[in-house]
Amino acid sequence: MTTAHPAPAAGAQVSAADFLQEVVSFAQQKGFVWGPSPEVYGGLSGFYDYGPLGKLLKNNIEQKIRDTFQVNDFWEVECPTVMPAKVWEASGHLGNFTDPLIVCSKCKAHFRVDKLLEELFPDKRIKPEQYLKVIEEEGILCPSCQSDFLKEIKKHNLMMKTQVGLDTVAYNRPETATTTYLPFPRYFDFFRKKLPFGVFQIGKAYRNEISPRMYICRMREFTQAEAQLFIFADQKKQYEILQKALDDPLPLWSNKLQDDEAEPAPMTLREALAKGVLKNNAYAYTLWLTFSVYKNAGIPVDRMRLRQHGSDEKAFYADDAWDVEVNLNSFGWTEMCGVHDRTTYDLTQHAKFSGKELVASDETHKRETPHVLEIAFGVDRLVFALIDLFYNPQDVKEGKTTFHIPVGLAPIKIGVFPL
């Protein structure tokens, strides 16, 4: 078995933009990813085809995630990708699922302002109220035509609207999570009215992105793998953590370290819980579980960090939120997965709007709304991360371009060739 080694960081030989072009070209030539699709019609931004090798790689990644969840007692479900408007009103997506939009004064091109600034200033945390000020002070111009932006930021809703039957307004799901919450009463019966229990779903989601500019890392149709742990509030601190998880160091980048402009600090779950960096056992375990997927997929630990959300970016109902970020050659530090303690928000909202009780009871809990701990993987982003990190163009002039992907995820494990 050969050991996989990631390519050197972009910048050692080529710029990140040039490296991305090479990666995209490699992915197209070798049958990993094609598009934007449909290519014969000129393509639609944010939609891509997976070729034979790409689909095999994606299948292997999904199976890696599936195996990790199942061995940790999460059960797989599948739910519809289209839901009526009432569902998305309850979840808050219809009113609040928006991105900040800025428009060029000349060519009228639209850009997602937070991502535009993130690309230009990857090491700075810029708050929404600072966007226009930074654009003006830094003299940032439209990437398309180098003209000034209009001095206004608009909200762009990401929901994709459709119609069911003759008159029922519905929406394509922007995430798998919401559709996974709704069968809670059925889960409770299936798991014999005992909490905690975990379920997960792998499937398509849709977002009407303003200007998807990050290849398959930001698409309008994409694949998510999301898991939900339903648990009573008082069970979170007593949740049993495996010994190997307690002593496995994780590169935690807490709010305090970010505010102090310090680097992530390797810390075990045992230490993080003792120091109050992580609030409870159940959340700590879901964070470790997430990190282990990327580690087992072959992503080098020195290319990963777990970043805690600041109070200005964390949802008002969330008790805690961390992202797994990977340092890509093409895009720098990029969010790969989110882990959120959503407390009782989702079940409470859907109970309110549906008129149905979404509570649980047992010997010690009476009609209590469970908390939800959520893990949200972007499958396509992990596909890109593996191509980006393990594509090695160093000897391209000698015809020695290599792709040292970890053997467990390789699309083709063995090749038999004539002498």
96 or 399, which is more confident? 96
Query: Is 171 among the domain residues?
Result: no
152-156, 310-314, 357-361, range with greatest mean pLDDT: 357-361
Residues recorded for the chain: 419
Span 151-159, average pLDDT: 92
Within-domain flag for 88: no
Cβ distance 69 to 329 under 8 Å? no
Please report which confidence band the pLDDT of residue 127 belongs to, taking 50, 70 and 90 as the band edges: confident
Q: What is the mean pLDDT of residues 344-364?
A: 96
d(CA 84, CA 267): 44
Q: Which single residue is written with the structure tokens 């879901």? A: 286
CATH number at residue 25: 3.30.930.10
Indicate if 103 and 244 belong to the same structural domain. no
pLDDT band at 228 (very low <50, low <70, confident <90, very high): very high
Assess whether 364 and 254 both reside in one domain: yes
Radius of gyration of the chain (CA): 22
* Per-residue pLDDT reduced to its tens digit, 329-350: 999 999 999 999 999 999 999 9
Q: How many Cβ atoms from other residues are within 10 Å of residue 90's Cβ? A: 21
171: nearest Cα among 107, 104, 265, 97: 97
Same domain, 199 and 306: yes
pLDDT at 7: 56
Which residue would you say has higher pLDDT here, 124 or 239?
239
* Residue 356: strand, helix, or coil: coil
Residue where a domain stops, chosen among 156, 185, 201: 156
300 located within any domain: yes
| Whether 150 and 272 share a structural domain | no
Q: 22-49, pLDDT tens digit by residue? A: 999 999 999 999 999 999 999 999 999 9
- Are 130 and 191 contained in the same domain? no
Distance (Å, whole) CA 326 – CA 302 = 9
Tell me the DSSP string of 150-176: PS--EEEE--EEEEETTTEEEEE-S-S
pLDDT of residue 315: 83
Contacts of residue 120, defined as CB under 8 A and 6 or more positions apart, other chains included, come to 138, 140
Quick one: 295 and 231 in the same domain? Answer: yes
Residue 4 reports pLDDT greater than 80: no
- DSSP class per residue in 393-404: -TTGGGT--EE-
pLDDT higher than threshold 80 for residue 14: no
CA distance linking residue 250 with residue 326, whole number of Å: 13
Say if residues 61 and 379 touch (Cβ distance below 8 Å). Answer: yes
pLDDT of residue 2: 34
Identify the CA nearest to 350 among candidates 369, 337, 367.
369
Please give the structure tokens belonging to residue 340.
């959120």
In a domain, 8, yes or no: no
Please write the tens of the pLDDT for every residue from 174-183.
Answer: 999 999 999 9
> What residue type is assigned to position 188 of the chain?
F
Torsion of CA 63, 340, 185, 231, to 10 degrees: 100
Q: Is residue 345 part of a domain?
A: yes
Residue 419 lies in a domain: no
Q: Which of 125, 156, 187 is the last residue of a domain?
A: 156
Number of domains the chain is built from? 2
Contact criterion met (CB below 8 Å) for 216 and 384: yes
Other Cβ atoms within 10 Å of 384 Cβ, number: 28
The residues, ordered by sequence, that sit 6+ positions from 110 with a Cβ below 8 Å of its Cβ are: 101, 102, 103, 104, 156, 210, 211
Instruction: For residue 289, give both structure tokens.
Output: 């579980």
Instruction: Tell me, yes or no, whether 418 lies in a domain.
Output: no
Contact in structure between 107 and 147 (CB atoms under 8 Å): yes
Same structural domain for residues 121 and 183?
no
Evaluate if residue 132 carries a pLDDT over 90.
yes
Q: What is the pLDDT of residues 65-117, one digit of tens each?
A: 999 999 999 999 999 999 999 999 999 999 889 989 999 999 999 898 988 99
User: Do 300 and 253 share a structural domain?
Assistant: yes
The pLDDT, as a whole number, for residue 6 is 61
Sign of CA dihedral 23, 27, 32, 35: positive
The C-alpha angle with vertex 290 and arms to 227 and 199, in degrees rounded to 5, equals 15
Structural domain boundaries enclosing 138: 99-156
| pLDDT-above-90 percentage for the chain | 78
Are both 126 and 249 inside the same structural domain? no
Question: Of 198-207, 214-223, 395-404, which gets the smallest average pLDDT?
Answer: 395-404
Same domain, 75 and 129: no
Residue 147 lies in a domain: yes
Percent of the chain whose predicted confidence (pLDDT) is above 70: 96
| 112 and 141 together in one domain | yes
This prediction has a pTM of: 0.90
| DSSP-derived secondary structure for 94-157 | HHH-EEEEEEBTTT--EEEHHHHHHHH-TT----GGGHHHHHHHHT---TTT--PBPS--EEEE
Among 223, 246, 293, 383, smallest CA distance to 70 is for 293
Same domain, 74 and 184: yes
Q: Which amino acid is at 294?
A: Y
Q: What's the pLDDT at 312?
A: 82
Residue 365: Cβ within 10 Å count = 16
